[in-house]
Amino acid sequence: MYTIRTATVKDVEAIIQIADETWWVTYSPILEKEQITFMLNEIYAAEKISKQIETGAQTFMLLLEGEEPVAFAAYSPREENADIYKLHKLYCLPKTQGKGYGKVLINEVVQRTTDAGKRILELNVNRYNNAKTFYEKMGFAVVSEDDIAIGPYWMNDYVMRKEL
């Protein structure tokens, strides 16, 4: 049994804990330890997540199994093109993977995107991340490649889109 709700600043620590536990399992095979540590500290700093929630820069959704937060997603209209919504983050605790929570969260973001009158959902995924196959099964297709500098490191991503 699960529920989904919009996250508040009270959920920041749960979001950080899910990200931390998930990132190490997901990215250790493809990124150096130092890069994972740097990126977690950069992207998931409590102040940064709190500000994103408070300002509405990103809407975070939390999926709870019973009372326990086990997965989250974050999305927003794209800054450069408000007709496209971007799925910024989607992570499920490793112990819950295979339960369909990623699909549930994507479907919720798709619903909220279409409710806002938008027809394109976009995301970035590391070119070596196995999640690419999952996103393809969810109807996303690669439209380009993007290399993004984060501090001294690079994110080598595919940009994927789904027409809604």
pLDDT digits (tens, 9 = 90+) for 39-57: 999 999 999 999 999 999 9
**Is 157 in contact with 148 (CB distance < 8 Å)?**
yes
Is pLDDT above 90 for 89?
yes
Amino acid at site 132: K
How many residues belong to the chain?
A: 164
Task: Average the pLDDT over 65-91 and give the result.
Answer: 95
**DSSP letter at 84?**
E
Q: Is the dihedral of CA 115, 116, 118, 120 positive or negative?
A: negative
Classify domain 2-163 by CATH number: 3.40.630.30
pLDDT attached to residue 82: 83
Sketch the domain layout of the chain as residue ranges. 2-163
Average pLDDT of the chain, as a whole number: 96
CB contact burial 63-99 (16+ within 10 A = b; e otherwise): bbbeeebbbbbbbbeeeeeeeebbbbbbbbbeebbeb
pTM of the model: 0.96
